[in-house]
């Protein structure tokens, strides 16, 4: 391998690459840097179905202007093939707060402009959902946002969008990959900009987006009664810093507190270990601020503001973090309940969730006669359902357990700006009934069943890690467990083969979803376990969901402990 890697690395020493890049390659070629050389060049950074994501640096397996440039050229070629009757196709480009994000965004804009596209480039960092909205608002044929979402600071990414404002799905995703693979050298990329083809987009467009968000409000009277409710918000150094407070104020909330240290835009994320609102550490400073000011609700968004994590006070007044399933269930419950109370449910309404997201959401939809769809993991599949039903049915909302939610049809990706405003509205609505969000969650559990979920991430880095993940999935397919935690496995769902196997009857039926590398085990006691390699991070994920009967709020702690013990035993089974 090392011989091939060196040959590949030396090909980056010609004049197609700038002087700094050539110097870095020469440094990597020194004997003491062999391991890093291999990691940087042993393969090409793969343009997957969602685009690029990887560690920033020099090399074919790293995010840099050349790998970004080649991806952009391939995407530009594909858009032109698909819209060959359009004289000048249009694209929108945005970026988050990460190191090099502005550089990569300008590189993408320059390449599109050089290829004859009209480019809408945001003047500075903007949330991913606003990019999705911009594609539709400007009638674009595609778009790109430079972001690695909630990944560690070493990462960056390139997310590609189609003309509906959603991320690429079949057939476009695989066909774009084919076009990108045809670009094998930076000499094939048109890097020189055509400046008159690039338009800078600023605050005036933010206002258009915020006005559309405001149209989603279902309880303005509840907000008016509780406009002074204290809310703490942190963007964790990211793109929500400006628009989340503006959205909250536009909805009518007046008592918003920030965390000044985390309002500073910084791709090094200096105040947290990881800029991921799924992690308790990321909300620590915001919760401390909330305790100090007496706030009721804490919200934190990730660097590109498409995910939101929240903390609420429990019945003892202590702040507790809600997971993505809990927040999603509360939000969908609120949306459906208010649609019902306002007489908006006419029989053509629906919600969407992913297959690894809690079935509590489905149960809520069933009660109110709202259709629900289960889709593969990835918000692009939720966007596709919205597209398929546009003009025929009405999308109430949807979400995924990984802290991403959406309402309305004008954005086609998860939207934390929107979600923050609607979560705050939910809190205000609950307050008019003398309840907190925590009370609302217990009410939902009592009515529909106490669903408890746990996610285990096993990180496996580098080439060896990727091979280990592949082996784990292969072993589970070849020898699926017969029993887990003293409960029989009744069904094995293999979404890669699109087959659901009834283990007792030895019968199989087709799964009507696109192929995806996911395995699901349904146990006799109702437990559901989903296993999938992450498409964006070097890890394999185990999602476990179980359920118990909650007789009332007084029984919560007891049932919570029972379900926690059960979940821990199941995870130990897979992490031996």
Whether residues 516 and 414 share a domain: the answer is no
C-alpha span between 434 and 406 (Å, rounded): 27
pLDDT in tens, 348-360: 999 999 999 999 9
C-alpha span between 46 and 30 (Å, rounded): 26
Whether residues 443 and 454 share a domain: the answer is no
Q: Per residue in 233-250, is it b (16+ CB within 10 Å) or e — as a string?
A: bbbbbbbbbbbbbbbbeb
Q: How does strand 319-322 pair with strand 308-313?
A: antiparallel
pLDDT in tens, 479-531: 999 999 999 999 999 999 999 999 999 999 999 999 999 999 999 998 999 99
Q: Does 111 fall in a domain? A: yes
Question: For residue 466, what pLDDT band results from cuts at 50, 70 and 90?
Answer: confident
Could you say which of 201, 218, 248 is where a domain stops? Answer: 201
- Cα–Cα distances (Å) from 312 to 100, 291, 438, 439, in that order, read 35, 11, 7, 10
pTM of the model as a whole: 0.94
Q: How does strand 499-502 pair with strand 507-510?
A: antiparallel
Instruction: Give the other-Cβ count within 10 Å of 435's Cβ.
Output: 15
Q: Does 409 fall in a domain? A: yes
Give the CATH number of the domain where residue 78 resides: 3.40.120.10
Whether residues 50 and 126 share a domain: the answer is yes
> Between 312 and 1, whose confidence is greater?
312
Percent of the chain with pLDDT over 90: 92
CB-CB contact of 330 with 316 (8 Å): no
**537 pLDDT more than 80:** no
For residue 540, give every residue at least 6 positions away whose Cβ sits within 8 Å of its Cβ, in sequence order, or none: 457, 458, 460, 469, 472, 473, 531, 532, 533, 534
Cross-strand partners of 519: 494, 531
Give the CATH number of the domain where residue 480 resides: 3.30.310
Could you say which of 201, 224, 256 is where a domain stops? Answer: 201
Q: Does 274 fall in a domain? A: yes
What pLDDT, on the 0 to 100 scale, is given for residue 48?
Answer: 83
CB-CB contact of 360 with 444 (8 Å): yes
Q: Does 34 fall in a domain? A: no
Whether residues 421 and 476 share a domain: the answer is no
Could you say which of 387, 413, 448 is where a domain stops? Answer: 448
Diameter over CA atoms, the chain: 72
Which domain range does residue 567 map to?
A: 450-574
Query: What average pLDDT score do residues 385-402 get?
Result: 97
Q: Does 352 fall in a domain? A: yes
Whether residues 426 and 463 share a domain: the answer is no
Whether residues 220 and 360 share a domain: the answer is yes
Sign of CA dihedral 389, 390, 395, 398: positive
Whether residues 454 and 442 share a domain: the answer is no
C-alpha span between 362 and 524 (Å, rounded): 19
SS3 label, residue 346: coil
Q: Does 293 fall in a domain? A: yes
Whether residues 127 and 264 share a domain: the answer is no
Tally of domains within the chain:
3
- Cα–Cα distances (Å) from 161 to 222, 381, 399, 448, in that order, read 36, 13, 19, 37
Residues acting as catalytic residues: 149
Query: What average pLDDT score do residues 383-409 get?
Result: 97
Whether residues 269 and 383 share a domain: the answer is yes
Question: For residue 536, what pLDDT band results from cuts at 50, 70 and 90?
Answer: low
Whether residues 105 and 126 share a domain: the answer is yes
Whether residues 172 and 231 share a domain: the answer is no
Asked whether the bond before 437 is cis by omega within 30 degrees of 0, the reply is no
Which stretches within 433-555 are classed as H helix? 437-448, 462-478
Whether residues 331 and 269 share a domain: the answer is yes
Q: Does 260 fall in a domain? A: yes
Q: Does 38 fall in a domain? A: no
What pLDDT, on the 0 to 100 scale, is given for residue 495?
Answer: 96
Of 314-328, 436-450, 475-489, 523-537, which gets the smallest average pLDDT? Answer: 523-537
């Amino acid at each position: 391998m090392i011989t091939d890697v060196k040959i590949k690395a030396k090909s980056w020493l010609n004049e197609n690459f700038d002087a700094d890049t050539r110097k870095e390659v020469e440094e990597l070629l020194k004997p003491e840097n062999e391991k890093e050389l291999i990691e940087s060049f042993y393969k090409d950074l793969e343009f997957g179905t969602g685009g690029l994501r990887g560690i920033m640096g020099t090399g074919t397996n790293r995010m840099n202007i050349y790998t970004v440039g080649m991806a952009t050229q391939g995407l530009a070629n594909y858009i032109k093939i698909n819209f060959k009757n359009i004289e000048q196709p249009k694209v929108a480009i945005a970026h988050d707060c990460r190191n090099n994000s502005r550089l990569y965004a300008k590189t993408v804009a320059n390449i599109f402009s050089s290829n004859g596209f009209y480019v809408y480039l945001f003047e500075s960092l903007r949330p991913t959902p606003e990019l999705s909205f911009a594609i539709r608002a400007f009638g674009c044929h595609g778009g790109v946002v430079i972001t690695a979402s909630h990944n560690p600071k070493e990462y960056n990414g390139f997310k590609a969008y189609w003309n509906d404002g959603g991320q690429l799905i079949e057939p476009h995703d695989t066909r774009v990959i084919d076009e990108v693979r045809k670009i094998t050298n930076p000499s094939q990329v048109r890097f020189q900009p055509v400046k008159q083809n690039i338009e800078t987009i600023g605050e005036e467009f933010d206002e258009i987006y915020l006005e559309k968000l405001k149209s989603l409000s279902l309880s303005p009277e509840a907000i008016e009664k509780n406009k002074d409710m204290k809310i703490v918000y942190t963007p964790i150094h990211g793109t929500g810093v400006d628009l989340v407070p503006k959205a909250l104020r536009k909805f009518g909330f007046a008592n918003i507190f920030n965390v000044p240290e985390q309002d500073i835009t910084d791709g090094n994320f200096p105040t947290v270990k990881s800029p991921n609102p799924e992690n308790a550490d990321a909300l620590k400073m915001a919760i401390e601020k909330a305790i100090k000011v007496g706030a009721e609700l804490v919200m934190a968004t990730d660097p590109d503001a498409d995910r939101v994590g929240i903390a609420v006070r429990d019945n003892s007044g202590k702040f507790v973090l809600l997971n993505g399933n809990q927040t999603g269930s509360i939000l969908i419950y609120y949306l459906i309940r208010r649609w019902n109370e306002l007489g908006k449910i006419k029989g053509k309404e629906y919600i969407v969730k992913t297959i690894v997201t809690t079935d509590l959401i489905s149960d809520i939809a069933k009660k109110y006669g709202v259709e629900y769809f289960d889709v593969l993991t990835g918000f692009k599949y939720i966007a596709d359902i919205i597209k398929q039903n546009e003009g025929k049915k009405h999308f109430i909302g949807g979400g995924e357990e990984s802290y991403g939610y959406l309402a309305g049809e004008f954005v086609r990706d998860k939207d934390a700006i929107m979600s923050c405003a609607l979560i705050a509205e939910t809190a205000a609505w609950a307050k008019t009934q003398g309840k907190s969000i925590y009370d609302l969650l217990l009410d939902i559990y009592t009515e529909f069943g106490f669903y408890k979920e746990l996610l285990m991430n096993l990180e496996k880095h580098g080439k060896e890690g990727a091979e280990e993940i592949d082996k784990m999935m292969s072993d589970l397919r070849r020898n699926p467990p017969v029993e887990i935690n003293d409960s029989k496995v009744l069904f094995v769902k293999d979404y890669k083969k699109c087959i659901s196997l009834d283990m007792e009857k030895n019968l199989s039926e087709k799964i009507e979803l696109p192929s995806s590398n996911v395995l699901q085990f349904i146990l006799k006691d109702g437990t559901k376990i989903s296993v999938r390699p992450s498409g964006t991070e070097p890890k394999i994920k185990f999602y476990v969901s179980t359920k118990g009967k909650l007789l009332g709020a007084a029984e919560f702690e007891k049932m919570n402990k029972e379900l926690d013990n059960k979940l821990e035993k199941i995870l130990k089974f897979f992490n031996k």
